[in-house]
Structure formats: structure tokens, C-alpha cells
Amino acid sequence: MSSVFTPAKLIVTLLALPALIIPAFALGYIVYQGSSVISWQFLTSSDALDGFGNSSGILGQLTGSLLLALGGCLIATPIALGAGLFYQLQANPRQRKLLESVLYLLQAIPPIVYGLFGLVLFVHLLAWGVSLLTGMLILAIVVLPALTLNTITSLQRIAPEYSEAARALGLSDSALVGRVWLRHARLELITGQLLAMARALSETAPILFTATVFSGVVWPESLLSPVTTLQTHIFYLAQEGGNPLAIQVAWGSALVLVASVALFSLLARKLKSIGEQ
Amino acid sequence: MLRLWLNTATLLCAASLLLIVTFLLYASSPIFAAQGLNFVVEQEWYPYEALFGLLPVLVGSLLSVGVAIALALPLGVAAALFNLEIIPKAAQSWLRLLMELMAGIPSVVYGLLGLWLLVPLLESQLNLLTGRTLFTAALLLAIMALPTIMVLSEDALRRVSREQRENAVTLGLNWWQQVCRILLPQAWPGIRLATLLALGRALGETVAVMLVVGSIDRIPEPFYNLLLPAQTFTSRIGREMGEAEIDSLHWAALMSSGLALMLISLIVVAPSLFWRSK
């Protein structure tokens, strides 16, 4: 690498600049607009719902988002873990290939299609309606492929000597899984969970007409009642063109949402770097 | 006990894929019964007059995604080269962190930015009647695709072996020649993968596109006039799904739009995911 700044490097730099400036500017703009609204009261109150969503606080929305994401991840975890262990413990090469294909295909399906599927099966055929439960199940399917693939790679990283030693000691399958594999892969498995939370928190389309309503709900009363979320709150408020207050609340909600997603992905990043040491 | 859990979990993964395809086919069957495959090439979409055609959104989606990737690919690869080759090592990880955070910003937030920053900007700068156009959607999709393309391209460039670089330097190739003859060709499979992944994501992007595309079911006239309101698969489904009556023809037509979107995404993205596993 030469240190001289040649015309070629200048061209690459000029081409690169929009790619660097626009995202930085966008992030800065969200922080700038959002921070003027955010206060302790904004985060912790849910009162003054006047029917147009102009509540002065977003506690209900924040809770709804977190509940949906957490529920989705909790539902997906045993399935992802089970399928990952199946892959590593007992699958033959053909089954492995098949499971991989299924996961890649699931990953390629756009989230809104999961929303349509949930609308047909959960909302109407099973008559669960627009509800928290429907949303959790849809988000579980959304995060399932990435979570399973993460389980598989985490298990593959465990040095084979551990498994061989465990086998030589005569450990059963369940002891091997419980005492050796899960213990060794735990940091990476938790990293996967955090990334899945970040993913579930950022999804809007699949829950838009299957789990959420715009207003009228602060706390969901049961699994079968609808919720409000930050994502859909932003979506509806953004379209309230004539109401400057609504747009302000939208920016504030956007900043809170971005911060929550970033929190989960930064935690995941931190854990990953601890695991690699 | 363990076996039962593992088998059930694996079967559930496979079942979810089958269930999705089955239920979408089931829900969209009325439209195929009524119109057959004519549905795909029909140009009109007026739910109240029972006219249902796929062509407007097919054109809208492909145009917006095509333009977005054409914009984002050169810029994203240049940014990856810039980060890897030009700026000092200490700054690299910071820039990468910024990009990874950007890649994680929820699409609805991009939608908010698009609607309240990009739309007014285009309206005033290009003197448009409305800033909600296919071009706005393409521009927003390009911005959303940039971090993904940059991060994955950088990974691909980083994997080019040091030996090859050293040989190139020994041969007296200058920086530009190294980039064009060694780095980019060697990293091309990875860059191609990044592009296809970004393309798939852009195709399925919903709320951001919905907010800025204008949502009018019309094929641009002439087809390269992107400065008109249009409709994509996702914006149509998102706009109308809430108001369609259950089991009506409108409902079925929206479901089949989703089915078509899924098929296109699978065709575009799945092969690239298989390459990655190798």
C-alpha cells in the first residue's frame, strides 16, 4: 500500500463519501430531532391518549414492542436450539443438507409474507384475532432461521476433543448436550438471542395488521388482545402530516427504537468479542 | 426425551415453510380460479371495479429495486475499499461500527426520514407536484442497502489473500491496478453475494417504501419516468391488506401478490445463500 494520495484513491474516496456521509447524517438527524422530545415523562408515562395517538408518553408502545420481541424470541429459542442440536447430534448428511435448505429458504422470505401467513392462519382460521399471541408467533418465525443457523455455527465451533473426551467417559447424549455443548457454546448462544431481539424489535411489516392497533390500548389485557408498539406508532404518526406534535412524538419514538435496537446489537458485539478472547 | 425434542423442533422448522406456502396458495386460490394466470399480466388494479392485475407492482418493484442497487453497489464497494485501503487502521473499526449500527436501523425509521426529509427535499429541488415517487423509494432503498453492501464487501475484500497482494506489489502494479486486477476480481463472489442479499431485502422492504412511493397502481409512462407515484408489491399489500374484506376477491388478489413476491425473493436470494454456505 503506497501512502501517496493518487488520483485513483481520490476517485474512490469521492465515490465513498456519499456512502459515509449520508448514513452518518441520517443517524445524526434522528438524534437531533428525537432528543428534543425525550424526557423522563415521555419514556415513563402512557396517559393522555386522546384517540389520535398523541399521548405524551410512549411507555405503552415501548412495553408492547419489548413484549412482542421477547415473546417471539422465547417461542423460537427451544425450536432453534432443538433443530441446531439435531443437526449436530444425529443428522445424517442428507438431513443436514435438507435442514440447511429449509433455513435458507425461510430466511429468503420477506417478513411481510410472514405477516400474510399469520393473518390467514392465526388471525382468521384459528380466530386468535389481531393479538399479542399472533404477533409473537409471527416474530418467532421471522427470527427462527437466523437463530437456528447461529445455534449450528456455535455448536460447530466447539473443539471436537471435548465431545470425544465426553464420549470416552461414557456420557449419554443428554449429558453431552447439557454439560459440554451448551456450557461451551453459551456465550455464542446468548449473542444469537440478543441479535434476534434486535431483529424482532426492528420488524414492522409483519405485525402491522396482525398484532397491533394504533391507539386505545395501553397494556394488553391478555395474550389475545392487541398491543401498540413503537414501530407501528412511528408508522401511523409519520402520516399525520397536519399535526406537528404527532411528528415530534414520531421522532422521539424513532430515537427510542433506534437506541433499543442498538443496545441489543452492541451487547451482542461485546459478548462476541469476549468470546473470541 | 432428548430425541423427541430435537425431532419435533426440526420438523417444526420444515413444517413452517410448508405451512406458509400451503396457506398462501389456499388464500390466493380464488383469484386464480377467477382470472387464471392472466392475473400476472393484467395492467389494471381497481379493487372496487374488481380489476386485479399484478403488472403495475411487478414493474414498480423491479424498477425501484434495480435503480436502488445500481446506485448503492458502486458507492458501497467504494466505501468498503476506502475503509480498508485508504483511512488509518485506528479509524477503520469506528467506521465499521457506524455502518453496522446503520444496517440495524429499523426500516420504519428510514421511512420517517424518507417522508419528512427526502420527500420535501425532492419536491423543492426537482419542482415536483409530489415528492412521493418511485425514484424517492429507489433512493431510500439505496440508502438502506448501503451499509449491508459495504460491510459484506469489506469482509470479502479482507479475505483476499495477503500473498496475492504481495505478489502484485512485487510485480510493480500500482494501487489502482492492484484494486482492479487482484482485489475486486478475487472478492467478486463475496460482493455478488452482498448485492443479492441487499437486493432481496430491498424487494421485501415494506414500511419505508410504503411511506414514500405514492401508492398509485400505475405503470410509469414512459417506463423510465421514475418521478411519478407508483406502487410496489409490498406497498400494495401494506396499504390495502387492512381494508380488504376477508375471503373477497380483493383479499385473494393481495394474498397472491404476496405469493408472487415470495417466489421472486426465493429465486433471487436462495441461490446466494447456498453459495455462502460453501
The pTM for the full model equals 0.92
Check A82 against B8: CB less than 8 A apart: yes
Q: Which domains does chain A have, with CATH numbers?
A: 48-276 (1.10.3720.10)
Q: Least CA distance to A75: which residue of chain B? A: B9
Among B50, B57, B54, CA closest to B34? B50
Q: What pLDDT is stored for residue A30 in this prediction? A: 94
CATH label, B50-277, candidates 1.10.3430.10, 2.40.110.10, 2.30.30.100, 1.10.3720.10: 1.10.3720.10
Check B175 against A2: CB less than 8 A apart: yes
Q: How far apart are CA A196 and CA A221, in angstroms?
A: 26
Check A99 against B19: CB less than 8 A apart: no
Residue A116 is nearest to which of B8, B14, B237, comparing CB atoms?
Answer: B237
Q: Least CA distance to B178: which residue of chain A? A: A1
Give the three cell numbers for residue A229: 408498539
A231, B108 Cβ separation under 8 angstroms: yes
Q: How far apart are CA A197 and CA A261, in angstroms?
A: 8
Report, in angstroms and rounded to the nearest whole number, the Rg of chain B calculated over CA atoms.
22
Check A81 against B269: CB less than 8 A apart: no
Residue A148 is nearest to which of B13, B109, B147, comparing CB atoms?
Answer: B13
* Exposure of B272 in the CB half-sphere (CA atoms within 13 A): 22
In the predicted model, is pLDDT for residue B278 greater than 60? no
Give the three cell numbers for residue B252: 385473494
Q: How far apart are CA A256 and CA A244, in angstroms?
A: 19
Residue B12 is nearest to which of A79, A203, A208, comparing CB atoms?
Answer: A79
Q: How confident is the model at residue B276 (pLDDT cuts 50, 70, 90)?
A: low
Q: pLDDT tens, B98-145?
A: 888 888 899 999 999 999 999 999 999 988 888 899 999 999 999 999
| Cα torsion B102, B106, B109, B111: sign | positive
Check A265 against B104: CB less than 8 A apart: yes
Domain definitions of chain B by residue range:
50-277
CA distance B155 to chain A (A): 16
Alpha carbon separation from A171 to A168, A184, B7, B209 (Å, rounded): 8, 16, 21, 54
Alpha carbon separation from A145 to A81, A84, A152, A181, B99 (Å, rounded): 11, 10, 11, 20, 23
For every residue of chain B, DSSP letters joined together read: -HHHHHHHHHHHHHHHHHHHHHHHHHHHHHHHHHHTTHHHH----BGGGTB--SHHHHHHHHHHHHHHHHHHHHHHHHHHHIIIIIS-HHHHHHHHHHHHHHHTS-HHHHHHHIIIIIHHHHHHHHT-S-S-SHHHHHHHHHHHHHHHHHHHHHHHHHTS-HHHHHHHHHTT--HHHIIIIIIHHHHHHHHHHHHHHHHHHHHH--HHHHHHSB------SSTT--SS-B--HHHHHHHHTTTSPTTSHHHHHHHHHHHHHHHHHHHHHHHHHHHHH-
Check B106 against A27: CB less than 8 A apart: no
Question: Best interface-test mutation with B: which of A1, A9, A20 has the largest number of B CBs within 10 A?
Answer: A20
Q: How far apart are CA B230 and CA A40, in angstroms?
A: 41
Check B20 against A113: CB less than 8 A apart: yes
In the predicted model, is pLDDT for residue B223 greater than 90? no
Check A112 against B237: CB less than 8 A apart: yes
Residue A12 is nearest to which of B1, B86, B273, comparing CB atoms?
Answer: B86
Check A204 against B206: CB less than 8 A apart: yes
Residue B211 is nearest to which of A81, A109, A238, comparing CB atoms?
Answer: A238
Per-residue tens of pLDDT for chain A, all 277 residues: 445 678 888 888 888 988 888 888 999 999 999 998 888 888 887 754 444 445 568 888 999 999 999 999 999 999 999 999 999 998 999 999 999 999 999 999 999 999 999 999 999 999 999 999 999 999 999 999 999 999 999 999 998 899 889 989 988 888 899 888 999 999 999 999 999 999 999 999 999 989 988 777 777 888 888 998 999 999 999 998 778 888 888 999 999 999 999 999 999 999 988 877 7
